[in-house]
Structure 1
Amino acid sequence: MKAFSNFNLREYNSYRLSAVCRNAYFPECDEDIRTLFSDPNAKKIVLGGGYNIILSQDYYDADFVVFSGTYNNISLVGEDKVLCQAGVDMKELSEFALANELTGLEIYYDIPSSLGGAVVMNAGAGGEDIKALLIEVYYYDPNTDTFNTISVSDINFEYRNSFFQKNPEMIVCRALLQLKTGNADEIKAKMDKTKEARWAKQPREFPNAGSVFKRPPGRFVGPMIDELGLKGFAVGGAKVSEKHSGFIINYADAKGSDILSLISSVKAKVQDAFGVDLEVEQRVI
């Protein structure tokens, strides 16, 4: 296990916000997980790939456990199943599937997420989500100091929600995925098409953490923000993207407080104009 003191998390959050934590730990095996989490009263903040979070503080007098870059083994089980650790990047996982001519992960080629984060949030796009591929998840329960297996039917997936989202003390360790054999050329074509479509619509040229708000029933977030003329509206170094108003970008060395202030302003203006209380999709730390 790697450990660092006074560690800057800038490279471990997709907004590229500067945020220093007291200690950062990078687990590499199950025993590292047990060492870090066996005391449920010793609170630690868990980061997957850092893709769907907002670090609200410049300094955290707290310990972070970062899964990105470590705890990221991938292995083939039989002909069409894949076992992967929580820290694996979904882009890397989709490339592994392509190399083995397996289909099902193409949409994740350009969705920024770790496997653990994808499971917790039930990540997906275009009508596909991770629950459709899951067989089971192996996780650590600090309350009982045990590693357990839970089947997909018991995870209670909802839109961007799950058993793990509702029980954040449970630590996702591994997941077993059911894929299908496919044609490598067709798989690669879908991956490229997916990436091209996202880059055309989303502000990938600036640090961001994806869609800021959940879609409210019967509405689309972007058109409401557009109608209010909020494209390009900025607070400090954070700005509503001119390319896609559902995104906030770090365009000028933003702080977490800039992003939160901007979110509050947008929420208030949408509430006043449309009577819609937008729900933030990203996790504020």
Structure 2
Amino acid sequence: MKIIENLDLTAYNSYRVASRCKRAFFPESEEDIRDILQEHGNGSIIMLGSGHNVILSKSFYDQDFMVFNGNFDSVKLIDDQTIHAQAGIDLLQLSEFALSKSLSGMEIFYDIPSSLGGAIVMNAGANGEDIHSLILNARYYDPNKDEFIELHSADISRGYRDSYFQQNPHLVITEATIKLSKGSASLIKMKMQTIKEQRWAKQPKDFPNAGSVFKRPAGYFVGAIMDELSLKGVSIGGAKVSEKHGGFIVNYNKASGEDIMALIEHIQQCVENKYGFRLNVEQRII
């Protein structure tokens, strides 16, 4: 297990916000996870996956981090339609592994930046598909019980961008089993490339960002709201509402976590003044 003191977290968050933590653990096994949480205190340790869909709101954390990024990412084929993967693997790697086995179902996730664990926590998805529809079960560690437990798919999902794990943030997902279907490798690859091209045409890729900032409110689209309120291009510090897609905030000029949070608050207030409801943040604020 790798341990780094005073870790620079800039490369570990997709906003590329400059931040540091007191110490970071990079576990390589379930026993590492147990040891970290039992020896160093579960309540004070912050979990960080691929760093996507995350806002680091502070420039320094006087806390330990447990990082799943470039580690804890093995994947294997169980049978001709089932994949078993550790939680640290990112969705790009996972979808490419599925492609190599001519398995269909992961195409929509090819260009969604997230670790598998983070995707399960947030129930990541797009175009009406979500990761929970593919999960057979997930294994996690409960530090309060000091037990590794397996949770079946019916008990994981809590609906749109929600999950059992999001409601129980002290739990640590370690691995999951995914059920896919046999397909044509050429057609799977074509769909993956088409999805990527469509997403890149709509989303800002020129500046660091963490994807869609807000959950879609019932009956509305966030992008349309931003257009109506003329919020595209509005900035605070180095953070700016993307001109390409109003649902994204980009780091265009060395933004701090405080800049991003202040811009979110400004957007929420504008929306509440106009529409009478408050936008809920989809991204995880640390």
- TM-score normalised according to structure 1 size: 0.98
Q: 1:245: which partner in 2?
A: 246
- Report the CA distance between 1:43 and its aligned residue: 1.9
- Report the CA distance between 1:42 and its aligned residue: 4.8
Kept after mapping to 2: 8 A contact 1:97/1:103: yes
Unaligned runs of 5+ residues in structure 2 are: none
Q: 1:191: which partner in 2?
A: 192
Letter in 2 for 1:274: Y
Letter in 2 for 1:251: Y
1:38 counterpart SS class: helix
- Report the CA distance between 1:46 and its aligned residue: 0.2
Q: 2:226: which partner in 1?
A: 225
Letter in 1 for 2:31: E
Letter in 1 for 2:10: R
Query: What are the superposed Cα offsets for residues 207-227 of structure 1, whole Å, 9 maximum, x if unpaired?
Result: 101111111111111111111
Q: 1:21: which partner in 2?
A: 21
- Report the CA distance between 1:51 and its aligned residue: 0.4
Kept after mapping to 2: 8 A contact 1:131/1:157: no
Q: 2:141: which partner in 1?
A: 140
**Is the aligned partner of 1:283 residue 2:284?**
yes
Letter in 2 for 1:12: Y
Q: 1:216: which partner in 2?
A: 217
Query: What are the superposed Cα offsets for residues 39-89 of structure 1, whole Å, 9 maximum, x if unpaired?
Result: 555520001111011001101000011101000000000111000001001
Kept after mapping to 2: 8 A contact 1:214/1:281: yes
Q: 1:165: which partner in 2?
A: 166
CA distance in 1, matches of 2:75, 2:168: 25
**Is the aligned partner of 1:258 residue 2:259?**
yes
Q: 2:6: which partner in 1?
A: 6
- Report the CA distance between 1:26 and its aligned residue: 0.6
Unaligned runs of 5+ residues in structure 1 are: none
Letter in 2 for 1:106: E
- TM-score normalised according to structure 2 size: 0.98
Percent of residue pairs bearing the same amino acid type: 53
Kept after mapping to 1: 8 A contact 2:42/2:170: no
Instruction: Give every structure 1 segment of 4 or more consecutive aligned residues whose post-TM-superposition deviation is greater than 4 Å.
Output: 39-42
Give the superposed CA RMSD: 0.9
CA distance in 1, matches of 2:275, 2:169: 33
